[in-house]
Structure 1
Amino acid sequence: MSTKHRFHTINERVKLRGDESQHEQTDAWSNRDLIPLPPHRRTWDWFTFFGFWGISSLNIANWQTPNTFLSMMHSPQGLSVPQSMMVIVIGWVLITMFATLIAWAGLKWHIGFTVQNRYSWGMRASYIPLLQRIMLNFIWNAVQCWNGGRMVSVCITAIWPSFARVPNTLSSNTPTTTYQMVGFIVFWTLSTPFLWLRPEKFIVPFRVVSIYCGTAMLSWMIWALARAGGVGPLWNTPESIPSTSLFNSSWIIMSGINQMIGGIAAGITNGSDFSRYAKAKKHYIAGAILSAQIVGVLVSFVGLVTASACQKIYGEIYWNPPDLLMVMMDEGRGSSKARAGVFFLALGFASTAMFENICGNAVAGGIDLAGLFPRYINIRRGAIITFIAAWIVQPWQLINRATTFIQVLSSFSVFLAPIMGIMACDYYILRKRKVRLSHLYRTNDSIYYFWHGVNWRVIPAWLCGVAPTIGGMVLTVRQEPNPPRALIQIYYMAFLVGFFTSAIIFFALNKIFPVPDMDQYDKVDYYGTFSAKELLHLGIESLDDSRSVRSEGPDVGRESGENVLVDDRKNKS
């Protein structure tokens, strides 16, 4: 067998195949996981979205959020408890608003972030936001695996207490221990089988994990209050802003709100990747709002109360759940009762970390990678690649050494907020919520090809949104002692500044250099995307009805691009 023939054989085996009777064509721009989602694959009801948002809230980071605002990252200034809770409530309200705003295209047209950016950036320039998301998915997946591994280590210690004293067999140059590495390996291994689940099958895990972990957190708070006989002194923490501070409490509150939105900006950006799985718009709206406003706020409140009560019990403040759980086992002198309680609490945190990571990073990474290589990568393959990349990223190096790098990642909303501003302006104002689906999967004669596949108007608009805030981000990460006040103030509003600056610039450029007929949409449902009710609401014909009309005469019901799925495949690049 010749080398050429062998390569061709391997290539054919690796290439993806789709059911073309279901419009699942596979080519340079499309595969089964990128096409507009048909009704039978839209399985998420309101409780699924409640669980989806719930596992994004039932985690260590949200538990520790009040600590961030009470101490403002260990600086000598901090907010009071009421002020901190106010920041958390306002933050979740804004998160819900922006998340719904960005996810609406997925609810109406059933396309994800990967495809959604093609009509704003151009077919080829859409790789720019895509590559940013892929990088974030790789890194955050690795970091989440490491954090989940810490909880697994606690679970193992609860079963075998001697595990906490396991000798460190790793090199002195490795910034971690055998204890931590074993937890990481076990967490990564146990997570891997769930990568084979398709997003439409996540319903049961979301429900089970969110209910289990929510119950465990509430039980922990009740136990701590009962054991301490009330909350500790942490609950009465007053505002502590020195007179020498550059910023008053209003600016500190603004900074806190910006941190809240920025911390989940990556998930907001690709919201349509998951909103497209909704059975109906009402399911997404009900599930997202209820979960964000109830679970999101409640977890921070429970974390604050538990930390305060445990301060009264143990004499110290433990914000990090793994540390507090280990102290609880020591205080219980290794009794089976204490170890059992710690095990079930740690298991709850580990479970939410697992599915938050699988869905929010691995699956999201799979969707983004599918956009780069549609012929060879689908969601499942992309998720596996993202998960394997955790070993290349080496999170133990990032977390234990490169703390500055983690801060930069947490501030990445500086780059993401302008992308969202462009998405919102383009979809709602310029295109009037209309998208021509058939032109999102071709380059020849596509209205979204623009100039060589690039909508040049996006580049300056995006850069103008990034420019005002990146200076403040650099100064904050470097922890400059006397930074320019104006730069830091703008950075404290980075998300809003970036979002609206890029939106306004993009709108202006489109008015000065207009794109004709931006509000086009297909009059025929070529992909079998819409239900009968949706077709009636949108004024679109089903493909079968369109064919029936055309059979009556060659010119009846013709629409430009109508035969893109049948006759124009040669036009696809």
Structure 2
Amino acid sequence: MPLIQRVRNAVQLHGDEDKHEKTDSWSNRDLVPLPPARRTWGLFEYFGYWAISALNISTWQQPNSFLTLGLSVGQTMGVIIVGRFIVALFAIVVAWCGLRWHIGFTIQNRFSWGMRGSYIPLIQRVMLNFIWTAIQCWNGGKLVCVCITAVFPSFASMKNTLPASMPTTTYEMVGFTIFWFCSLPFLWMPPEKYRLPFQVVCIYCGVAMICMMIWALSVAKGVGPTFYTSQNLSGDWSINWVMLRCINSLIGGKAAGMTNGSDFSRYGKSARQFTTGTFLCLFIVGTLVSFVGLVTVSATQVIYNEVYWNPPDLLMRMMDEGHGSSKARAGVFFLALGFALTAGFENVCGNAVGGGIDLSGIFPHYINIRRGALITFFAAWICMPWQLVNRADTFITVLSSFTVFLAPMMGIMTTDFFLLRKQRVRLSSLYDLHGQYYYTYGFNWRAPLAWICGWAPLIGGLNATVEKETVAKSLFELYYLSFFLGYFISAIIFYGLNRLFPLPHLGESDDLDMFGTFTPAEAKFMGVAPADDKISDNGSSEKVVYADKLAEPDLEY
């Protein structure tokens, strides 16, 4: 056998055919609908999944970006409450397909975009995951630097051995490298077993944030002037437009996680636990973290006569003011480690694993979740986050504004699943190039057309915001509503195109559970014959065997 062929056979993935884990150009073990044995996520897993995205630096800093635009504290918290509620609502709706059919974002797009057309949203997601993984590693590295400095104070004065052309220092590179290597082992953990890390990270970081707030309030003997900031608008923008801009910004920051929600909702044991865990965390925990950050920053302003919205900067100041005492350094280490743990596992779960799932959809023969996550993580070095974060403020602004492209994508996904297909999907065709979702040469032209129509009117405002240009006010107004406009424009156009040019077989599903996806109770609810049944010649199902099954699931669809 030629060497190339032997290498190819060695790296190709192989699944258990008896468990419907066929591996070919469109399928592998991590892409097929998840069977009951792999659906291990309950209320706490979903609470933990969204908690790690709430218990982080960006959520802590969120009030700052709104206050600097001229909102009062009350208006800022109002924006956060409304924005968080909308995020929770859309996160549940977008992920519903994964709950019902146990397929992820990678597969879900095949029935909307076509088998080959699904690569369009997939490639966007892969690139986003590469870049956000790199940036999160860089930000996590700064927290590692704080931890090391708390243990070895001389680390902060480390000599910079890097050339002046590099926009970073040896100090920062050491933190980045350590954070990257410490995160690497968690990539070997399958998503089914995330319960323990979720527990440790959420409890540790939550307690650390509360302790930080209590300490600040105790030393300052109350909240400081930042907490009583009144409205201070500048320019010709009304308060209503400023608040809409802030709500849109808040939603945009969560758009990437909302888009691929079905990648993780497919692991759910029940719809009730998914919706409860998701809503409680995204709405309540996210709001509370922003409030805790606001109170802590306001109180520390009294202590240090300066406002520190960036936790690593605040922690370093706390250590300096403690004159390097063991007590001050121990406290700073405890707090910085909490933020670092959250940043690390959020990066692994939300970015690296998400990128792994998307890469698996592009190269099913060779890439599964673990291999894809490793590729995404190694790409952090290629992306050079020290260049992106320390130099390219404009680039970061563009990434944060990517909701312009993601919102139309979500509009297509939800309109197709709920309104056109009535939540019915033919699973077998999602893994067959020439099945019902082949459309025209593998593309459903309606989807890219509706998607472009969703973001095209918003590009002018995005470009003006990034380049800080003076353009017509109406372009900014469109951009400040980009999530809602992009979502509903694409949704309406996609719906209209499908009515004008209807597709055959909408709302159809398989008669038999070909992948062993459903328990008997689920199969009955979905109207398909269980995997233990066979279809007779006359089209009716005949019972073959009914062995002991899992407990009947909570089917509140």
Shorter-chain TM-score above 0.5: yes
What is the root-mean-square deviation in Å for CA atoms of aligned residues? 1.0
**2: CA distance between counterparts of 1:331 and 1:544?**
68
Deviations 1:184-215 (A, max 9, x none): 00000000000000110111101110011001
Q: Give distance in 2, aligned partners of 1:335 and 1:459.
A: 60
CA contact (8 A) 2:356 2:369 kept: yes
Counterpart among 531, 539, 545 of residue 527 in structure 2: 539
2:533–2:541 CA contact under 8 A, matched in 1: no
Are 2:454 and 1:447 aligned? no
- Counterpart residue type for residue 486 of structure 2: G
1:125 aligns to what SS in structure 2? coil
- Once the two structures are TM-superposed, the CA of residue 247 in structure 1 deviates from its matched residue by 1.2
In structure 2, the partner of 1:51 is 48
Residue 570 of structure 1 is matched in structure 2 by none
Measure how far apart 1:425 and its partner are. 0.6
8 Å Cα contact 1:246-1:485 kept in structure 2: no
Q: Corresponding residue for 2:16?
A: 19
How far did 1:90 drift? 0.5
Matched, 1:84 2:67: no
Amino acid at match of 1:20: E
Q: TM-score, normalised by structure 2?
A: 0.96
Superposed, which structure 2 residues align to 1:65-104 within 5 Å?
65-72=62-69, 78-104=70-96
2:309 counterpart (316, 319, 338):
319
Deviations 1:223-262 (A, max 9, x none): 10000000010011111113xx231110000000000110
Deviation track 1:315-360 (CA, whole Å, cap 9, x = no partner) reads 0000000000000000000000000000000000000000000010
Query: How many angstroms apart in 1 are the aligned matches of 2:210 and 2:285?
Result: 11
Q: Determine the structure 2 residue equivalent to 1:142.
A: 134
Separation of aligned partners in 2, 1:121 and 1:292: 29
CA shift for structure 1 position 558: 8.0
Question: Pick from 415, 423, 436: which aligns with 1:425?
Answer: 415
For residue 543 of structure 1, give the secondary structure of its aligned residue in structure 2.
Answer: coil
Give, in whole Å, the separation in 1 of the partners of 2:314 and 2:35.
Answer: 47
Instruction: Look up the match of 1:231.
Output: 223
- Say yes or no: does 1:28 pair with 2:28: no
1:336 to 326, 344, 349: 326
2:460 maps to 1:468? no
In structure 1, the partner of 2:550 is: none
The CA distance in 2 between the partners of 1:220 and 1:19, in whole Å, is 50
- TM-score normalised per structure 1: 0.94
1:273 CA displacement: 0.1
| Aligned match of 2:39 | 42
Q: Of 90, 95, 111, which aligns to 1:119? A: 111
Q: Deviations over 1:542-570 (max 9, x none)?
A: 12212xx53xxx334389xxxxxxxxxxx
Over the matched positions of the two proteins, sequence identity in percent amounts to: 59
Q: 5+ unaligned residues in a row in structure 1: which ranges?
A: 73-77, 560-573
In 1, the alpha carbon distance for the partners of 2:332 and 2:425 equals: 51
Letter in 2 for 1:451: T
Measured against aligned partners, the alpha-carbon deviations of 1:151-194 in whole angstroms (never above 9, x if no partner) come to 00000000000000011011111100111110000000000000
1:557 to 540, 552, 555: 540
Q: Which residue of 2 aligns with 1:257?
A: 247
Residue equivalent to 2:173: 181
4+ residue stretches of structure 1 with deviation over 6 A?
A: none
**1:528 aligned residue:** 516
Counterpart of 2:99 in structure 1 is: 107
- The Cα offsets for residues 55-82 of structure 1, whole Å up to 9 and x where unpaired, read as 000000000000000003xxxxx10000
Rounded Cα–Cα distance in structure 2 between residues aligned with 1:542 and 1:48 = 28
- Partner Cα distance (1:357, 1:459) in 2: 30
Q: Which secondary structure does the structure 1 equivalent of 2:533 belong to? A: helix
> Which residue is 2:161 aligned to?
169
Instruction: Check conservation: 2:519, 2:530, Cα contact below 8 A.
Output: no
Q: Which one of 146, 150, 159 corresponds to residue 158 of structure 1?
A: 150
Question: Which of the numbers 295, 299, 324 marks the counterpart of 1:305?
Answer: 295
SS in 2 for 1:542: coil
CA distance in 2, matches of 1:49, 1:459: 31
Are 1:272 and 2:255 an aligned pair? Answer: no
> What is residue 563 of structure 1 aligned with on the other side?
none
Does the 8 Å contact 1:224/1:310 carry over to 2?
Answer: yes
